[in-house]
A and B are shown apart, each in its own frame.
Chain A
Amino acid sequence: MSELVRFLREKVWLLGNTRWYARVDSVRGELVEVERLGYEQLDARARAVGALLADRTAPGAHVMLMYPSGLEFFAVFLGCLYAGRVAVPAPLPDTDRRALRRAEGIIRDAGIGLILSDASRRPALSEWLAGAEPERQVECVATDKDVPPAPDDWSPVSQDLSATAYIQYTSGSTSEPRGVVISHRNLLHNLLSIRERLVPDEVLDELRHDPAPTGAGWLPHYHDMGLVGMLLSPLASYGNLVFCSPVAFIAHPELWLRMISRYRAFYTFAPNFGYDWLLRSLKGTQLTDLDPELDLDCLRYALSGGEPVRADVLGAVARRLAPVGFRTDIWAPGYGLAEATLLVTGTRCGQGPTVGRFDRDALEAGQALPAPDGVELVASGRPSGVDVRIVDPVTSHPVKDGQVGEIWVRGDSVALGYLGNPRATAEHFAATTADGEGPYLRTGDLGFFQEDELYVTGRAKDLIIVNGRNIHPQDIERVGETADPATGPSAAFALPDSSGREHIVLVQEIRPRQLDGRSAATLAGLIRERVARDLRLAVRVVIVGPMSVPRTTSGKIQRSRAREELRASRLGALHSDLVASDSCIEPRQDTVRRDA
């Protein structure tokens, strides 16, 4: 077995079933535990699946995992590691309408011949496969029924640390899935970094002894943060985990608090939107009405990562939950991405968050100048086991502390590259600084260092993130451009309103001769409906004349310039869904003609 598999199974041998994973759900407003496996039971399930895979697939085969949230997924994922088969986790269509279309792309991209699922999903998946991939033989097998235990003499396959462990598909646009190839070495290194950099020794000692503290979460297992941070970390760190499905959390946000309280959870984790959603859904609810015994005093670590961490959300959540024992010094902001397995920088347990104020104009000019009345930024902590540099994205010169540049990362957590895509791999994974150091991973994110802590200030890429959904602007633009004969090129981007919440704006060019007497407002309504229908997104449409969306000299749409011109009211809109109060538009409304 590989060093990674030995590292994980060591915990099984040491701790047996004294440590466990449990999943809960909300049933008529009550928290109910629906399944639980001890480490040893989990290991037995993983061995059964491992033996099955060793029997039915070739070494190194890519196996797609399509499971609902639950322990079966985790056992099967471990089984793939044990067998030396490459797991490819993918979402089921209940969390993302485009999941099946994405899955078709992944099947082609990763050369999938076998899909593993559970008995409840297998019939629908087989039916879909028959329709979607007639030219390719893809089998779908349910693992939760009729998989016999592994023979006693079956043991995990021997593998080198350089072997591929799994493929993490990230937010490539719907038409072009992008699979990050994670090796056994990458995963082992990142799990060790999480354990050693985020958890101080004295806390780790506590974790080794009964009663072991517990983590609580609800993240999807097909994302890096759900897979590595939520599911794998407890096993690597001698802990327990209680979790619910993402849908259960979104439908019953208070379930998160009940989990923490009931299981006396020591730590929890989520992207900013999760904390914000909890806050929004609690509204005026009296916390003790939810559960008179609700008590978060046990919680000592609350990680916020995976998307920009907002100071106002940290503050508001801490204030809202203070009466039930939430302390503001347990906040632990972090930064990471699938291309670096997961964690890149993090905040140590007990340290508390660092929030700085910086001059807004200087920041836009690339300088972090502390200013008492400036914009609040939350530091994402210190590098955890990797080398992190801030580099001028144009000249590739490393910049000084306090200067904004692109975040570059090097170390054993950095993935091998994108599956079957040498061009994108070379572009993102093989960067060299002007002074010849490398190779570095170019994250595409912008940030700066101050007093050894990383502040993430934005994205160099045009990716739009709304409620944890990564949305590629080109997916929205395609809908706009094909909505009507009168619609031409367009640019989609996110724009924050005065409260900081981001809205999606689509600046859409029209071909006036194709309008046939319809108003620009009518066309905007039609586009809104199409985007709502196809992507389930609410967008605000700004209609402009032909050739009004900024382009490069080669004719490529410039989204960030379109955004700046809109904010400066220089676009000459024929119609705009934006109103002055809900956007950061500068007060030169005279040039924006509203015909609605």
Chain B
Amino acid sequence: MKRDEILAELKAMLAEFGDIAPEQVDEQTSFVADLGLDSLVLVRMTVVAEERFGVRIPDEVAWELHTVGSVVTYVEDTLVGRIGAGGE
């Protein structure tokens, strides 16, 4: 999955679960400080992101992913790492 595809999927999830218009979102956008998302939406997004991207996002990692860009990078790195390691 390419970086722009991951970003597009995240924007779609923000629209679906947070009612956030995609044009309001870029990689610098912060989930809580900018979008004001509450803890319920964040927990839901984390679990659904794991399911849709097929990656594990441990809680201690999730807590540190404050911006859209940091999630994209994490998902991208994890997927690349998996391919490098010969798949799951």
In the complex formed, the residue of B with least CB distance to A532 is B32
In the complex formed, the residue of B with least CB distance to A525 is B33
* Chain A residues near B60 (CB-CB < 8 A): 93
Question: With the chains together, A253 CA to B44 CA distance in Å?
Answer: 9
5 new A-B contacts, CB < 8 A, other than A250-B44, A252-B47, A281-B44, are A251-B44, A466-B38, A533-B32, A536-B32, A537-B32
B43 touches A250 (CB 8 A): yes
B39 touches A536 (CB 8 A): yes
* Chain A residues near B32 (CB-CB < 8 A): 532-533, 536-538
Say which residue of B36, B43, B44 sits within 8 Å of A538 (CB atoms): B36
A 455-473 contacts with B by CB, 8 A:
466-467, 469
- The reply to whether the CB of B3 lies closer than 8 angstroms to some CB of chain A is no
Query: What DSSP secondary structure best describes chain B's contact surface?
Result: helix
A467 touches B39 (CB 8 A): yes
Question: With the chains together, A227 CA to B26 CA distance in Å?
Answer: 42
- The reply to whether the CB of A94 lies closer than 8 angstroms to some CB of chain B is yes
Question: With the chains together, A322 CA to B6 CA distance in Å?
Answer: 38
- The reply to whether the CB of B42 lies closer than 8 angstroms to some CB of chain A is yes
- Give 1 or 0 for each of A536-569: 1 = CB within 8 Å of chain B CB: 1110000000000000000000000000000000
In the complex formed, the residue of A with least CB distance to B51 is A28
- The reply to whether the CB of A72 lies closer than 8 angstroms to some CB of chain B is no
A 236-268 contacts with B by CB, 8 A:
247, 250-253
Closest Cβ of chain B to A543, distance in Å, is 16
Binding site for A on B (CB under 8 A): 17, 30-33, 36-40, 42-44, 46-48, 51, 59-60, 63, 66
A247 touches B47 (CB 8 A): yes
B59 touches A533 (CB 8 A): no
A93 touches B30 (CB 8 A): no
Question: With the chains together, A253 CA to B39 CA distance in Å?
Answer: 14
**Given known contacts A93-B60, A251-B47, A536-B63, is B39 in contact with A469 (CB within 8 Å)?**
yes
**Given known contacts A247-B43, A538-B36, is B30 in contact with A529 (CB within 8 Å)?**
yes
A528 touches B48 (CB 8 A): no
* Chain A residues near B43 (CB-CB < 8 A): 247, 250-251
* Chain A residues near B36 (CB-CB < 8 A): 538
Closest Cβ of chain A to B75, distance in Å, is 17
* Chain B residues near A536 (CB-CB < 8 A): 32, 39, 42, 63
Question: With the chains together, A583 CA to B17 CA distance in Å?
Answer: 23
25 example contacts (A-B, Cβ-Cβ < 8 A) are as follows A93-B59, A93-B60, A97-B63, A250-B40, A251-B47, A251-B48, A273-B40, A277-B40, A281-B44, A466-B38, A466-B39, A467-B38, A467-B40, A469-B39, A528-B33, A529-B33, A532-B32, A532-B66, A533-B33, A536-B42, A536-B63, A537-B39, A538-B36, A538-B37, A538-B38
In the complex formed, the residue of A with least CB distance to B35 is A538
Question: With the chains together, A97 CA to B32 CA distance in Å?
Answer: 15
In the complex formed, the residue of A with least CB distance to B60 is A93
In the complex formed, the residue of B with least CB distance to A250 is B43
Question: With the chains together, A469 CA to B44 CA distance in Å?
Answer: 16
Closest Cβ of chain B to A294, distance in Å, is 20
Closest Cβ of chain B to A31, distance in Å, is 15
* Chain B residues near A525 (CB-CB < 8 A): 33
Closest Cβ of chain B to A69, distance in Å, is 13
Say which residue of B37, B47, B66 sits within 8 Å of A533 (CB atoms): B66
Question: With the chains together, A528 CA to B46 CA distance in Å?
Answer: 22
* Chain B residues near A467 (CB-CB < 8 A): 38-40
Best-buried of A247, A469, A536 by chain B (most CB within 10 Å): A536
- Give 1 or 0 for each of A100-119: 1 = CB within 8 Å of chain B CB: 00000000000000000000
A 269-320 contacts with B by CB, 8 A:
273, 277, 281
* Chain B residues near A528 (CB-CB < 8 A): 33
Question: With the chains together, A466 CA to B42 CA distance in Å?
Answer: 14
Question: With the chains together, A596 CA to B46 CA distance in Å?
Answer: 32
Closest Cβ of chain A to B64, distance in Å, is 9
In the complex formed, the residue of A with least CB distance to B36 is A538
Question: With the chains together, A538 CA to B39 CA distance in Å?
Answer: 9
* Chain A residues near B59 (CB-CB < 8 A): 93-94, 97
* Chain A residues near B66 (CB-CB < 8 A): 532-533
* Chain B residues near A537 (CB-CB < 8 A): 32, 39
A 506-544 contacts with B by CB, 8 A:
525, 528-529, 531-533, 536-538
In the complex formed, the residue of A with least CB distance to B50 is A251
* Chain A residues near B51 (CB-CB < 8 A): 28
* Chain A residues near B17 (CB-CB < 8 A): 281
* Chain B residues near A281 (CB-CB < 8 A): 17, 44
In the complex formed, the residue of B with least CB distance to A28 is B51
Best-buried of A251, A253, A281 by chain B (most CB within 10 Å): A251
In the complex formed, the residue of B with least CB distance to A528 is B33
* Chain B residues near A529 (CB-CB < 8 A): 30, 33
Question: With the chains together, A195 CA to B32 CA distance in Å?
Answer: 42
Return the 8 tightest CB-CB contacts between A and B, nearest first. Answer: A251-B47, A532-B32, A538-B36, A532-B33, A94-B59, A529-B33, A250-B43, A528-B33
In the complex formed, the residue of A with least CB distance to B66 is A533
